[in-house]
């Protein structure tokens, strides 16, 4: 089934060329079907690149998905045309009375920034609290995991001395949890962060069920008991060349970054990297959409409650 996106969103042409079934708003208007509504809060600087990556992940599902894009930082962007933001993104005030089956909050380049110095921190808090009563299941990626742990559990930021960058092996820790159904016992996923997620910290300070972890990268995948919050500390949505681009960016900025681990063939940045995590990424998002969104969500989203149960609002 397709994902439904605005007619002129650049991702429509990109994904169509990749034989991914997308449906524009004008075509979808002639169908009578209950689509899954997913809201994407995009905090990444290169918003178009992130849109393409995440829409690829969402497309690998038998469900028809209606995607809305959200921004909460109204400052001028250095990496995304203002016209793109005005044409395709909603402000929170425009969607605050809406209900969604799923919400994805992306990472952000804020690994070394204290929460109190994040200019839109209060808006992040508001969106996460709002999601408790307006969204069936929320998926947090990378920095968003750090923010959610602070807001939902009071867990302070843990920061590594050196940036974690590369592709790492992870072990599946739950055999029958739906979110990891079909996962190999050991699988690969990329990371790009200063944040640290020690297993012991998550076990002691939260009630989250840890589903996958890595000796090198710590907790990778965790879920709340009611399955309404999913925490992914890495970047399964990344393209093959994304870590390469970040490495070149940091080199240009004079940061003297380490070469991403287990990424370039022969550990040589002159060799083109290959995506070794793509199948895992697609399966993770497909499982989330199926088991944590579609299987949990009520037909009438207006009946969502903060406890994840339905109630009558009449």
Q: Residues annotated in the binding site for substrate, as ranges?
A: 163, 192, 249
**Catalytic residue from among 49, 51, 237, 246:** 237
Q: Kindly write down the DSSP assignment for every residue of 147-201, as one continuous string.
A: HHHHHHH-PPP-EEEEEEEEEEEEEE--SS-GGGTT--SEEEEEEEEEE---HHH
Annotation marks residue 235 as catalytic: yes
Between helices 47-59 and 278-287, what is the axis angle to 10°? 70
**Catalytic residue from among 49, 51, 134, 142:** 142
CB 58 within 8 A of CB 237: no
How far is it, in rounded angstroms, from Cα 242 to Cα 208? 29
How far is it, in rounded angstroms, from Cα 235 to Cα 28? 30
Q: How many other C-beta atoms can be found within 10 angstroms of the C-beta atom of residue 98?
A: 14
**Catalytic residue from among 134, 191, 235, 292:** 235
Q: Quote the Cα angle for 117-123-126, to 5°.
A: 130
Annotation marks residue 116 as catalytic: no
How far is it, in rounded angstroms, from Cα 26 to Cα 3? 13
Per DSSP, what are the bridge partners of residue 218?
Answer: 214
CB 88 within 8 A of CB 123: no
Write out the binding residues.
163, 192, 249
What is the distance in angstroms between the CA of the first residue and the CA of the last residue of the chain? 33
Per DSSP, what are the bridge partners of residue 221?
Answer: 212, 232
Annotation marks residue 170 as catalytic: no
Per DSSP, what are the bridge partners of residue 3?
Answer: 22, 65
Q: How many other C-beta atoms can be found within 10 angstroms of the C-beta atom of residue 225?
A: 10
Indicate which residues carry an active-site annotation: 142, 235, 237
């Amino acid at each position: 089934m397709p994902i439904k996106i605005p007619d002129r969103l650049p991702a429509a042409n990109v994904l169509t060329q990749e034989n991914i079934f997308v449906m524009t708003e004008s075509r979808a208007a002639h169908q009578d079907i209950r689509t899954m509504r997913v809201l994407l809060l995009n905090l990444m600087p290169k918003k178009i690149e992130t849109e393409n990556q995440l829409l690829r992940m969402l497309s690998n599902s038998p469900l028809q998905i209606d995607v809305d894009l959200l921004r909460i930082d109204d400052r001028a962007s250095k990496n995304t045309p203002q016209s793109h933001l005005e044409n395709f993104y909603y402000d929170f005030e425009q969607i605050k009375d809406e209900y969604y089956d799923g919400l994805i909050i992306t990472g952000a380049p804020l690994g070394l920034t204290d929460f109190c110095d994040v200019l839109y921190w209060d808006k992040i808090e508001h969106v996460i609290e709002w999601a408790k009563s307006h969204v069936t299941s929320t998926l947090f990626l990378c920095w968003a995991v750090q923010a959610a742990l602070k807001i939902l559990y009071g867990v302070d930021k843990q920061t590594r001395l050196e940036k974690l960058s590369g592709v790492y092996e992870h072990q599946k820790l739950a055999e029958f949890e739906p979110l990891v159904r079909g996962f190999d016992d050991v699988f690969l996923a990329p990371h790009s962060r200063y944040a640290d997620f020690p297993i012991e910290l998550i076990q002691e300070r939260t009630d989250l069920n840890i589903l996958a972890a890595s000796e090198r990268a710590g907790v990778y995948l965790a879920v709340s008991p009611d399955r309404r919050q999913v925490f992914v500390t890495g970047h399964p949505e990344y393209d093959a060349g994304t870590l390469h681009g970040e490495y070149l960016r940091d080199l240009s900025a004079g940061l003297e970054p380490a070469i991403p681990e287990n990424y370039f063939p022969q550990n040589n940045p002159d060799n083109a990297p290959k995506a070794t995590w793509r199948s895992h990424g697609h399966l993770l998002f497909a499982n989330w959409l199926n088991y944590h969104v579609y299987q949990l969500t009520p037909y009438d989203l207006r009946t969502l409650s903060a406890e994840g149960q339905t109630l009558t609002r009449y």
